[in-house]
Structure formats: C-alpha cells, structure tokens
Homo-oligomer: A and B are copies of this chain.
Amino acid sequence: MEVKTKQQGIKVVADVLDIIGGKWRGPILSYICDKPRRFNELKSILGRITSATLSKELRYLEELRMIERVEIRTETSSAYEYRMSQHGKSIKTLIQHVVEWGLQHRRVVLEEEIIP
C-alpha cells in the first residue's frame, strides 16, 4: 500500500496527527509506553486532566487499537490497566523522530532570536 495522491498523503498525515495530537493523547501514550498504567495512576501523573476527559481519550485510543484495557487479577483482588497494543508500541520510533526534529527546530529558532 502506497500513497497515490497528494490528497491521500494529506489524509494519512491528518489521521496520524489525530492519534498523537490534542492536548492529552501524546502525554497519555507517552506514559503508557513506559509501562502499563491504571486509570487513577494516569490521572495523577497527568495532573490537570479530569476523569471525564481521561476516560474519553482512553476509550478513543482503545478504539484506534493503540492501547488495550486489560483486567489484572490477583488471588485477592482485580483491577484494570491500560497498556500499549503490539501495534501501538510501534509509535515509539515515530515519536523519537518527532523529538529529534523538535530539538533541531528549537536550536534553529533560538539561534535566530539571539543573532537576528
């Protein structure tokens, strides 16, 4: 499968940005990437997010097959955790590319501000 038209390429980019974009989805993925996380754990790491928003974002990422919600059971109790899907893990490389470019961009913009 390849990109055949400009329109299609633009659409593919928009779809990807929809996954990692927005105020919370990047950070959420980033924390779940490190290790599986529970709802309230995410909520407290993220700080200012509300339950409603976190819940909505998690369900959306699940629907996109980026993460999975799994029940974890011990003898005495059970709980849920969110973890990256096999496919979801592959976004880590992409994000590394984004970070690299971002750092380069920052250097360029800072330079131009200092030496105008």
Chain A: residues with CB nearer than 8 A to chain B?
1-3, 6, 9-10, 12-17, 19-21, 26-27, 30, 64-65, 87, 90-91, 93-95, 97-99, 101-109, 112
Which residue from chain B places its CB closest to the CB of A64 in the assembled complex?
Answer: B109
Which residue from chain B places its CB closest to the CB of A107 in the assembled complex?
Answer: B1
Q: Is the interface of A mostly helix, strand, loop or mixed?
A: helix
Q: When the two chains form their complex, are residues B20 and A26 in contact, meaning their CB atoms are under 8 A apart?
A: no
Which residue from chain B places its CB closest to the CB of A100 in the assembled complex?
Answer: B94
Q: When the two chains form their complex, are residues A105 and B15 in contact, meaning their CB atoms are under 8 A apart?
A: yes
Q: In the complex, A113→B87 CA distance in Å?
A: 14
Q: When the two chains form their complex, are residues B106 and A12 in contact, meaning their CB atoms are under 8 A apart?
A: yes
13 contacts between A and B (CB under 8 A): A1-B103, A1-B106, A12-B102, A12-B106, A15-B106, A17-B20, A17-B21, A65-B108, A65-B109, A65-B112, A87-B108, A93-B101, A94-B98
